[in-house]
A and B are shown apart, each in its own frame.
Chain A
């Protein structure tokens, strides 16, 4: 996942690199995703999330749809 100055920069970069345009979302969503995903990583009882749990985290920050499906 990369950070771009704007959505127009994403489009230009994807075209120039012949890469498909994936999912674009706000940096605030990226921050909230980071907090939701990593806040417990150092906990002694941490375990890998199930696909359904991971999708729930994505959805909690507004990342929904087929791009975010794991199950």
Chain B
């Protein structure tokens, strides 16, 4: 199957995820593109191999289409276009960045559990107290993309 088809699948996944707040199934993508579930599912697997999607282990269920996450995390993002879970603080901020909209990220300090609210307004991050921390060096992120 062509890279062009895989990119069509990728774009359909993002369109659905943005519009509906949750990722599509392979059957839904196959129906939308008129190719059927098997071809769409095979594209899911190729896109995962290319790190363009993350599937729940052993399934065709989309776990992450970065920066969007299908399962609850510690990062809730609200915009005028909708609301989603972000995978991490980078991805949570990446949602308004990807959509080119303002938005709010709700999270909490892992150490003290105090809420942290980050506001993107007029395309800029409103100054806020806090720092970001990456625990894992960049070269090892994909060894366990669920913990970075």
Chain A residues near B (Cβ < 8 Å): 1-7, 9-10, 12-14, 16, 19-31, 33-35, 37-39, 41-42, 44, 46, 48, 54, 58, 66-70
Q: For the complex of A and B, list the 5 residue pairs with the smallest distance between their C-beta atoms, beginning with the closest.
A: A34-B93, A38-B94, A31-B125, A9-B111, A13-B111
In angstroms, Cα B134 to Cα A28, docked, is 15
Pair B14/A3 contact, Cβ less than 8 Å: no
In angstroms, Cα B137 to Cα A34, docked, is 17
Which residue of the partner chain A has the closest CB to B132?
A30
Which residue of the partner chain B has the closest CB to A43?
B11
Pair A69/B138 contact, Cβ less than 8 Å: yes
Hey, which chain A residues are within 8 Å of B125, CB to CB? Answer: 27-28, 31
The answer, yes or no, to whether B122 is at the interface (CB within 8 Å) is no
Which residue of the partner chain A has the closest CB to B68?
A41
Hey, which chain A residues are within 8 Å of B100, CB to CB? Answer: 39
Pair B89/A3 contact, Cβ less than 8 Å: yes
Which residue of the partner chain B has the closest CB to A68?
B138
Task: Report the interface size class on chain B.
Answer: 35 or more
In angstroms, Cα B52 to Cα A9, docked, is 33
Pair B135/A22 contact, Cβ less than 8 Å: yes
Distance (Å) between the CB of A59 and the closest chain B CB?
Answer: 12
Which residue of the partner chain B has the closest CB to A44?
B11
Hey, which chain B residues are within 8 Å of A42, CB to CB? Answer: 11, 14, 18, 98-99
The answer, yes or no, to whether B118 is at the interface (CB within 8 Å) is yes
Distance (Å) between the CB of B54 and the closest chain A CB?
Answer: 13
Q: Contact check: which of A24, A33, A34 meets B133 at CB < 8 Å?
A: A24
Additional A-B contact list (15), CB under 8 Å, known A2-B107, A7-B131, A34-B90: A2-B133, A3-B118, A6-B129, A9-B111, A16-B111, A23-B137, A27-B89, A27-B118, A29-B132, A31-B124, A33-B90, A35-B97, A39-B97, A39-B98, A70-B138
